[in-house]
Structure 1
Amino acid sequence: MDIAIGVPIEFKREIEIVLETPRLYIRELSVNDLMELYAICSDEVLMQFVGDGKPLSIEQVREWLSVTENNYKTKGFGNYAVVNKSDNEMIGYCGLVYSKNIDKIELIYALKKQYWNLGLATEAGAKMIEFGLDRIKLDEIYASIDPENKASENILGKLGFSFAFGQNDEFGYSTHYYRITAKQLPADSR
């Protein structure tokens, strides 16, 4: 089956919910999410603090989905769809990915603009940290942000991350790296 812009779609099995919070489902991404993920990743305002600060093309999103599906199989984690429980709408993504730039696992997240300032990124991020440190047994998780992105800096603070270091990222942009360790995870979540 082809969608309007000629991108072949292959339908897969139902995707199981990986994680759940009071307001969100966090589930695996699939090729069926291509257009929804593209809508998020092609938004100039949303993407200004992600990667090189430029929106992604449909081809880049398709490749990212392919890498993500491979990561589920080979690493046991990756990037996930964040879905609003109230209407089942995919409102963003959140996940754990390998950063070549620092040779560490990083927390990533982005939500559609209309879902900003509602605590949803913090809610999804907290569940993903618990998943990474408790279930996958990572020793630490990093997160990288543009120093100008005060909203993400606040989210990372709420999640328990501490400033680790600053350096240029793979695109040459000044970047602040934050870190959280398994020892920082509350005992009741282990």
Structure 2
Amino acid sequence: MNVIFETERLILKVFEEIDVEDAKEFWGNEEVMEHCLGAVPHDVLPKVLDSYAKCHLVNHLSIYAVYEKSTNKVIGGAGFIVRDSIDQVELVYHFAKGAWGKGYATEAGNACLEIARKNGKVKKIYASADSKNSSSLKILEKMGFNYQGLKWFEDTEQEEPYYELVLAK
């Protein structure tokens, strides 16, 4: 297990092929992905997880498997989408329905912020969520993100609340 960060209840680790079955519970689940672009087809998940593992090798930053210590199971994914540059990255998190309401997204999100700080190259982190996903919006505010207003997103074809957190200027 390639551990990146550990909290009291969670381990964030690089995704591996063995995590595909667990990933079906969050990225492959229509209800969980309702406020995103919909569920990822199960046959595509191995490629997705592999791309996150490769992103970590290149950038030392990626989306990570969130492993629940008490169940020895991957319950979600949290981390960063790296697009044009590592100095500005997008925070994302998705969790299996059974993990909702337990504070795991906030705990994993804060772990991700520490990972970004330790990386040393990230200057700004941004995030957005569907306006109907009030839980996600509360999490971003709890983690110290600042609301910037509504922003249009081509991928979701909608305006979404947009947040930023500046690490370094």
Percent identity reads 28
**Alpha-carbon separation, structure 2, partners of 1:113 and 1:35:** 15
**Alpha-carbon separation, structure 1, partners of 2:69 and 2:18:** 19
Equivalent residue in structure 2 for 1:181, among 160, 166, 169? 166
Name the SS of the counterpart of 1:58 in structure 2.
coil
TM, length-normalised to structure 2: 0.90
Q: CA deviation at 1:98?
A: 2.1
Is the CA contact (8 Å cut-off) linking 1:27 and 1:81 kept in structure 2?
Answer: yes
Structure 2 residue 81 is the aligned partner of structure 1 residue 82? no
Is the CA contact (8 Å cut-off) linking 1:133 and 1:181 kept in structure 2?
Answer: no
Is the CA contact (8 Å cut-off) linking 1:133 and 1:140 kept in structure 2?
Answer: no
Aligned residues: 166
Is the CA contact (8 Å cut-off) linking 2:60 and 2:119 kept in structure 1?
Answer: no
Q: Which runs of 5+ in 1 are unaligned?
A: 1-14, 184-190
The residue aligned with 1:9 is none
Structure 2 residue 35 is the aligned partner of structure 1 residue 24? no
**Alpha-carbon separation, structure 2, partners of 1:123 and 1:142:** 17
Structure 2 residue 115 is the aligned partner of structure 1 residue 131? yes
RMSD: 1.9
**Alpha-carbon separation, structure 1, partners of 2:83 and 2:139:** 20
**Alpha-carbon separation, structure 2, partners of 1:181 and 1:133:** 11
Equivalent residue in structure 2 for 1:92, among 51, 76, 79? 76
Q: Higher mean Cα deviation, 165-174 or 142-151?
A: 165-174
Q: CA deviation at 1:105?
A: 0.7
Question: Which structure has the highest helix share of the two?
Answer: 1
- 1:96-145 per-residue CA deviation (whole Å, 9 max, x = no partner) reads 11256xx9411110111121111111001001011112334311111111
Q: Which has the larger radius of gyration?
A: 1
Is the CA contact (8 Å cut-off) linking 2:27 and 2:33 kept in structure 1?
Answer: yes
- 1:76-112 per-residue CA deviation (whole Å, 9 max, x = no partner) reads 1111111111121111110111256xx9411110111
Amino acid at match of 2:159: S
Which structure has more relative contact order (CA 8 Å, sep 6+)? It is 2
Equivalent residue in structure 1 for 2:135, among 134, 151, 173? 151
